Amino acid sequence: MKSVVKGTSYVLVHAPDMLLRNGTTQTTERIVNPDSDYLKKLPEHIRSYDDALSYLPNQAYIGNLDPVALREHEQPWFDKKYDKADRFGSFGEIMPQEEFYFMIQAADEFELVRLEKGFVEEYKEKFFANPVLTDLIKDRIHDGIEKEALEKLLEDDAEGLYIGDRLVGAVKKAHDVDVALTSHVLLENLASKASNILSLLHLIKSAGLDPDEVDYVIDCSEEACGDMNQRGGGNFAKAAAELAGFTNATGSDTRGFCAAPVHAISIAASLVAAGAYKNVIVAAGGSTAKLGMNGKDHVKKDMPVVEDVMGGFAVWIGADDGKNPYIDLEHLGRHTVGTGSSPQAVITSLVSDPLERAGLKITDIDIYSPEMQNPDCTKPAGAGDVPVSNLKMIAALAVKQGDLERAGINEFVENRGVPGFAPTQGHIPSGIPMIGHSRQALLDGDVKRVMIVGKGSLFLGRLTNLFDGVSFMLLPNEGIEEKSAVSGDELRKIVAESLRGFAQSLLSEEEDEQ
């Protein structure tokens, strides 16, 4: 049985004050150098919601702009605006920080999140106006508490939620000594859960998904929830499924740093192909830790800190419907334990090896989607244009294999990839952002083969020096092959032949007895 991609959603959350107060680069700087020039200058480089909304890569992420069209705009993009920008796109939305605070409260099950009374009165109706919200979400928004009560929570190690200098909420700690249940960690986890839920709600709307038909949910974000006895036990997936209204679903978490989403989609497609589940959702929320990750370099370059959004996505994997593109499970690319970490070894294992097994060349793939980081984020930090670097490595391998002339490398990069448009949220840009756009291109017949490539850095956990990576091809659906029915005449012929055979066997037995 084939597993098909039946729908996708992509969401962003503009979180400027969470960048200032919760991003790891900033929280670390406050500890090691609290009087640094960076912290003093940073507020001047924070974007407004309108600026983040009209930002070209953000509009591409939520489906309002074809990523290929980014080539029409000279880099960098932070000083340009998309004149047709909209909060809502075909895949999702860009939610303002004020409304996301309500999502965080809705995600809270243990009365850990408190919002200020005046803030609730000011922004509640704006939040409720969002067309994807359900009564299940709205009913979880509490009346606010007085500002003095919020300030007392901060005295007891709660994590504050701010709009500028205004304290509008707080996340309480859940234990006095458990480091896994501090207010800082809980805010990270609740923000990831909340943005995951938002992705699931948009998937229901954009893909026409019936929540009751979801069987399984896999979360593939980079956070880990638990307590001191099982710090990363999970389960984000089931927690998010509960508030998305997936009452018939179970689920679990898959972790693999940046490569986790492609691992998760391979697992989901396999579960559907095996017949274990009919509809599996792969989803992830964003990471507060990575907000402003390269902020120091952005400030040095006198540009806005464009890492001011958290990302989220959801992908619906279902049984073959004869229409939607399918995931080729027979020819998965995989970085094994013995692959090695050189760029050539990585690209060979993820691109060349699976294509060779499929009888294809590197030039037979129309679109490659490796790490899709926005170059506005990475170039100022000295990391270059990550998607272009990956595509050049793929092209160089094609040259080595004799499938491409060296002079054709730049044309290969131009024609078989798209500019990076995803925020540097770790797992979010790793191949997955192009699934929505690619699915539509395959349905329209514009392309024939797409390869999604996810890569990860396992050494970040200090348990191994290994690299990681997985890839799969997304192919057009040629329809379900129907088995021809047996006609009445053919059925009578089959029965008659069977009876003649049976009669002849009886005669043979009688002759043997005589």
Asked if residue 336 has pLDDT above 50, the reply is yes
From residue 189, give the alpha-carbon distance in Å to each of 171, 212, 273, 400, 482. 11, 26, 32, 45, 47
Task: Supply φ then ψ for residue 452, to 5 degrees.
Answer: -100, 125
Q: Return the pLDDT at 497.
A: 73
What's the domain range around 73? 3-475
Helices (H), 139-235: 147-155, 183-207
Does residue 487 lie within any of the structural domains?
Answer: no
Q: Token match 């050049």: residue?
A: 392
Asked if residue 39 has pLDDT above 80, the reply is yes
- pLDDT-based confidence at 489, cuts 50/70/90? low
Angle CA(501)–CA(506)–CA(507) in degrees, nearest 5? 100
Assessment of whether the complete model's pTM goes beyond 0.75: yes
Average of per-residue pLDDT across 258-277: 98
CB 88 within 8 Å of CB 9: no
Average of per-residue pLDDT across 351-378: 98
Average of per-residue pLDDT across 336-351: 95
pLDDT per position as a tens digit, 306-318: 999 999 999 999 9
Q: Burial letters for 325-347: b for 16+ Cβ neighbours within 10 Å, e otherwise?
A: bbbbbebbbbbeeebeeeeeebb
> How far is it, in rounded angstroms, from Cα 89 to Cα 63?
5
pLDDT per position as a tens digit, 377-399: 999 999 999 999 999 999 999 99
Asked if residue 484 has pLDDT above 50, the reply is no
DSSP string, 456-497: EEGGGGSS---EEEEEEEEE------PPPPPPHHHHHHHHHH
Q: Return the pLDDT at 221.
A: 98
Sequence letter at residue 187: L
Residue 298's CB is within 10 A of a number of other CB atoms, namely: 23
Does residue 414 lie within any of the structural domains?
Answer: yes
- pLDDT-based confidence at 506, cuts 50/70/90? low
CATH number at residue 85: 3.40.47.10
Average of per-residue pLDDT across 143-162: 97
- pLDDT-based confidence at 485, cuts 50/70/90? low
The number of distinct structural domains making up the chain is: 1
Element (H, E) at 499: helix 488-513
Does residue 304 lie within any of the structural domains?
Answer: yes
Asked if residue 509 has pLDDT above 60, the reply is no
Does residue 507 lie within any of the structural domains?
Answer: no
Sequence letter at residue 85: A
CB 42 within 8 Å of CB 295: yes
Asked if residue 203 has pLDDT above 80, the reply is yes
Average of per-residue pLDDT across 26-51: 98
pLDDT per position as a tens digit, 134-144: 999 999 999 99
Does residue 294 lie within any of the structural domains?
Answer: yes
Q: Return the pLDDT at 508.
A: 61
Average of per-residue pLDDT across 7-24: 98
Q: Return the pLDDT at 480.
A: 83
> How far is it, in rounded angstroms, from Cα 495 to Cα 506?
17
Does residue 217 lie within any of the structural domains?
Answer: yes
Asked if residue 495 has pLDDT above 90, the reply is no
Q: Which residues pair with 162 in a beta bridge?
A: 167
Does residue 505 lie within any of the structural domains?
Answer: no
pLDDT per position as a tens digit, 387-444: 999 999 999 999 999 999 999 999 999 999 999 999 999 999 999 999 999 999 999 9
Average of per-residue pLDDT across 156-167: 98
* pLDDT more than 70, % of the chain: 94
- Rounded mean pLDDT of the chain? 95
Does residue 499 lie within any of the structural domains?
Answer: no
